[in-house]
Structure 1
Amino acid sequence: MKKDTVIIGFMLFALFFGAGNLIYPPTLGIESGSSYWAAIAGFILTGVGLPILAVAAVSFVKNDARELADQVHPLFGLIFTSLVYLAIGPFFGIPRTATVAFEMTIEPFTSATAVLLFLFTTIFFVLVYLVSLNPSKLVDRIGQFLTPVLLMAIVVLCIGGFLLLGHASGKPGEKYMAAPFFTGFVEGYLTMDAIAALAFGIIVVGAFKDRGIATRKGLVTATLKAGLVAGIGLTAVYTSIGWIGTKMAGEGNFSNGGAILSSAADTIFGSFGALILGVIVALACFSTSVGLVVACGQFFHKITGMPYHLIIALVTAASYLIANQGLNTIIGVSVPVLTFIYPIAIVLIMLTFLHKLFGGSPAVYQGAILMTAIVSLYDGLAEFGVDMPAVTSVMAHLPFFSIGLGWLVPAIIGGLAGYLFKGRGAASYSH
């Protein structure tokens, strides 16, 4: 494997390895108990495999992921891509970085209060805004430095966990009893990496183009190889910290994965170890937050023409307000939204790879996405607590509905229907 591929693979790992992702595998570990390996396999499929495919999908286009979504319809492309940026940006992704930083640096050592969260996020987002006004290579270098340090801290924590945490895995929680693999599959949505990959994939493609790879086939192959490098690292991290979660089942009750990791660090290395881990995570969160603010600023400046500094001010202010609702609230609200978005993203990615088979017909894209969106909208509303007994009685007859994949067969039917009734519309790109 060429050196450039490995280097870009490490860059891709750093893009995906946001500190916020550390909070989900430990929770899965505690809740899945003795069904952990089946659950983490499903989690890795959507939390690692799908993002890598998403980056490869972006390598098929010239500019950005909006071109992929434009295959359905330009208006859909605008709305869906904007929703993706809002999700990874001010709605969930950016506020999550701040609240994870707070929960791993402040909360383990004092009684967390709304006032403390307010003060912490005020300082955090003022600094994020100031740095985002004029992002430079210094931020990239900080990220390149912090990612290896954070990774080393996680490795040390995992080794300590394997050696010093002796509690056996508990019984699986209720939602992991029947189908742990598919429950883990749906939980992998929470990393947000697949939709983040749609937004950031062009960075990886650009890096390979700068190194002289010009053909589409070459770009796809190189991107998949770099994805393999990143995927190995992410799989190792998720599996290890998830396993720590299974070991912490007997250590008490925890509100979220950040609390689990902080408690594990304190149990293994004492309060100083927990503090060091918290500081490293907080710095990584800051670097990630700046990157997301800049990405949102550049995207919305491009589509609206509004001044960049005004957009990042709005993004930062919205993130600040949402962050002060607390991590558990952010997680709770993000689940229904991601339950709606993710199946659409999955189908869009799969259609990109099948594009040549159906000649890139817009009707195939439209049929598959429409049917997927109908089911995933229901799933999202159901996650949000909306009671729809009449609709549920119909949806319950869908294959795989009970394991959270009720959208799969309708997506296939919609795509086939679109193929049968496709018009003469030509694709905007060809494979």
Structure 2
Amino acid sequence: MNGNAHKSAFVATGLMLFALFFGAGNLIFPAAMGQQAGSNVFTAMTGFLLTGAGLPLLGVIAVGYSGSRDVQDLASRVAPWYGVAFAVALYLSIGPLFAIPRTATVSFEIGVVPFLGEVSDSGKSGALVAFSIVFFALSYWLSLSPGKLVDRIGKILTPVLLVAITVLVGYAAFAPAGAPPAPAEAYAQGALTKGILDGYETMDALASLVFAIIVIEAVYAMGVSDKKQVLSLTARAGMVAAACLAVVYVFIAYMGATGVAAIGMQESGAAVLSKSAEHYFGGTGKVLLAVIVFLACLSTSVGLITACAEYFNRLLPKMSYQALVTVFTLVSLVIANFGLSAIIKFSIPVLMLLYPLTVAIIALAFLHNVFGGHRIVYACTIGATAVIALLDGWRTLHGMLGGAEDGLVMRIDGALKTALPLYASGLGWVLPALAGLVVGVVLAKGKKV
């Protein structure tokens, strides 16, 4: 490929990657965070960008740099069984259990509900069923031909999506409704750390290990075979996607922060977006937002269904790709009809478990050559990280289900809040991970003696 062809290829691939990332959570979470962070919006947004844009970029580059076939191959450096367990948990989380159903419910809440007017709960439920059937029928059709993702998404859907987003958030940026309010309690102190944790909810760092394979395969399909060129194009495509994500996040969060003066505090990011669009553009704004949300969520749904079906086809070769697309589409359809609030609620404990493990494996992929790729280093680092990650997930689920305040997990939690730095802020896994890395390196060197 010549220089111009390379440039065109990585831009189209980068736009495809942005569209795959930019779905349900990428719209609602920065909007909600902007309202809550208020005058501390840019401090919180700095943290949000680290996990919402920076980590996905590192995840894409890490997979390309590692030369792994997929996330299972990368995670198997810890142990073969761990590779399968981690990959299955990750694919199911960003697939039919949480992320794919969320794309349909967010599309419905933002793009359809504002047009329903006064409707009963049963009427709204019926409308969700009808909408989700149409949404997943389109997702199913687009997912049957994964080789056409760049053309269908990178060259068609994404440019339309970016233009629509620019119109909405650009107007809000240059004509803010008012000054940001005082920050909510959670953002008054430690807004940076809270922003980091908010970025978890986009699930993009998890998805990056999956979408990276789609990007790499797209690069190979363009006729690029040199490994250095593949890594270069993959990294540059990741930079295009991360830059687009970062810009959109900043503008959406700013719109949320400055919009409080006009629309008041809202219960969810979906309501923030809907009422902001209506404030700035009236009825046209609701249509514009519906287009943005539908395109964003549809492209992400297609990418996730495709990625999940391709992985499980490799894991379970007796099941065809087409059959798996059907299964994942139908499961997602069923779960979507439990509603957005339920999906978000039950995803949080899983994210508290998987995110630290994902960050750790990304870091180890980059450090692989530094410590000689010894399995003991991978095992010690992931093992130490997993202890705190499991506790965080267990504690979050315990609280969500209304567990006793004096239960075992809460007693352990209380002790760690005073004994382990960063634990109280939700980043207690960082120091154990570093300690595990050091111990692993020492043990690896000891084997050589």
**Matched residue SS, 1:275:** helix
The residue identity in structure 1 corresponding to 2:428 is G
Q: Structure 1 residues 119 and 25, CA, compared in 2 at 3 Å: closer, same or farther?
A: same
Matched with 1:296 is: 308
Task: Name the stretch that deviates more: 73-82 or 129-138.
Answer: 129-138
Structure 2 CA distance for partners of 1:301 and 1:238, relative to 1, 3 Å: same
Query: Amino acid of the residue matched to residue 363 of structure 2?
Result: M
How far 1:243 sits from its partner (Å)?
0.3
Instruction: Report the Cα offset of residue 198 of structure 1.
Output: 0.3
- 1:97–1:179: structure 2 CA closer, same or farther, 3 Å change rule? same
SS at match of 1:401: coil
1:159 is matched with which residue? 170
Greater shift after overlay, 169-178 or 70-79?
A: 169-178
Q: Structure 1 residue 51 and structure 2 residue 22: aligned? A: no
- Corresponding position of 1:204: 215
CA distance in 2, matches of 1:10, 1:194: 17
Structure 1: how far apart are the matches of 2:56 and 2:333?
Answer: 27
Distance 2:346 2:144 in 1: 29
Matched, 1:404 2:433: no
2: CA distance, partners of 1:238 / 1:303? 35
1:76 paired residue number: 82
Cα 1:132–1:219, aligned 2, differ >3 Å: closer, same or farther? closer
Percent identity, aligned pairs only?
43
- State the partner residue of 2:320: 307
SS at match of 2:370: helix
Deviations 1:152-204 (A, max 9, x none): 11111112212443221111112112211111011111111111110111232
Q: Aligned pair count?
A: 426
1:417 to 431, 439, 448: 439
Partner of 1:394: 415
**CA contact under 8 A between 1:255 and 1:328: conserved in structure 2?**
no
Q: Are 2:378 and 2:440, in contact at CA under 8 Å, matched by a contact in 1?
A: yes
The residue number in structure 2 matching 1:146 is 157
Q: Could you say which residue in structure 2 is the equivalent of 1:18?
A: 23
Alignment of 1:88 with 2:109, yes or no, is no
State the Cα distance separating 1:143 from its structure 2 match. Answer: 5.7
Report the TM-score when normalising by structure 2.
Answer: 0.88
Note the residue ranges of structure 2 that are not aligned, 5 or more in a row.
none
Tell me which amino acid in the other structure corresponds to 2:283: S
What residue identity is the alignment partner of 2:334? L
1:25-424 to 2 correspondence within 5 Å? 25-59=30-64, 60-110=66-116, 111=118, 113-133=124-144, 137=148, 140-141=151-152, 144-210=155-221, 214=225, 216-250=227-261, 251-305=263-317, 306-384=319-397, 385=399, 387=407, 388-396=409-417, 397-422=419-444
Q: Structure 1 length as normaliser, TM-score?
A: 0.92
Query: C-alpha distance in 2, partners of 1:43/1:356?
Result: 30
Shift of the 318–212 alpha-carbon distance from structure 1 to 2, 3 Å rule, reads: closer
- Cα RMSD for the two superposed structures: 2.4
Contact kept in structure 2, 1:361 and 1:425, CA below 8 Å? no
| CA offsets 1:283-314 (integer angstroms, 9 cap, x no match) | 44223322321221121121012233332232
Does structure 2 retain, via aligned residues, the 8 Å contact 1:362–1:425?
no
Conservation of the 8 A alpha-carbon contact between 1:139 and 1:287: no
Classify the secondary structure of the residue corresponding to 2:424. helix
Deviates more, 1:195-204 or 1:2-11: 2-11
Secondary structure in 2 matching 1:158: helix
Q: CA offsets, 1:101-136, max 9 Å, x none?
A: 101221112246222212222332244335544556
Structure 1 residue 416, shift from structure 2 partner: 1.5
Relative to 1, partners in 2 of residues 1:139 and 1:104: Cα closer, same or farther, differing over 3 Å? farther
Q: Is the 8 A contact 2:216 2:230 kept in 1?
A: yes
AA of the residue aligned to 2:293? V
Change (3 A) 1:220 1:124: closer
Offset of 1:409 from its aligned partner?
0.6
State the one-letter code of the partner of 1:285: C
> 2:173 aligns to what SS in structure 1?
helix
CA distance in 2, matches of 1:211, 1:412: 40
**Which residue identity is paired with 2:51?**
T
Matching residue's letter, 2:312 = F
* Cα pair distance change 1:180/1:66, threshold 3 Å: same
3-state DSSP class of the match of 2:249? helix
What one-letter code is carried by the residue in structure 2 that aligns with 1:413?
A
Aligned residues of 2:22 and 2:297 also touching (Cα < 8 A): no
Over 3 Å counting, the alpha-carbon distance change for 1:425 and 1:203 in structure 2 is: farther
In structure 2, distance between residues paired with 1:224 and 1:139 = 16
Consecutive unaligned residues of structure 1, counting only runs of 5 or more, are 427-431
When residues 33 and 332 of structure 1 are mapped into structure 2, their CA distance, relative to the original with a 3 A threshold, is same
Give the letter aligned to residue 75 of structure 2: A
Mapped partners of 2:144, 2:55: distance in 1: 32
Per-residue CA deviations over 1:197-238 (Å, capped at 9, x if unaligned) read 101112323344455655555544443333222222211110
Rounded to whole Å, the distance in 2 between the matches of 1:5 and 1:280 is 23
Alpha-carbon contact 2:55-2:359 (below 8 Å) kept:
yes
Q: Which range moves more in the overlay, 391-400 or 89-98?
A: 391-400
Compute the displacement of 1:419 (Å).
Answer: 2.0
- How far apart, CA to CA, are the structure 1 residues paired with 2:396 and 2:323? 34
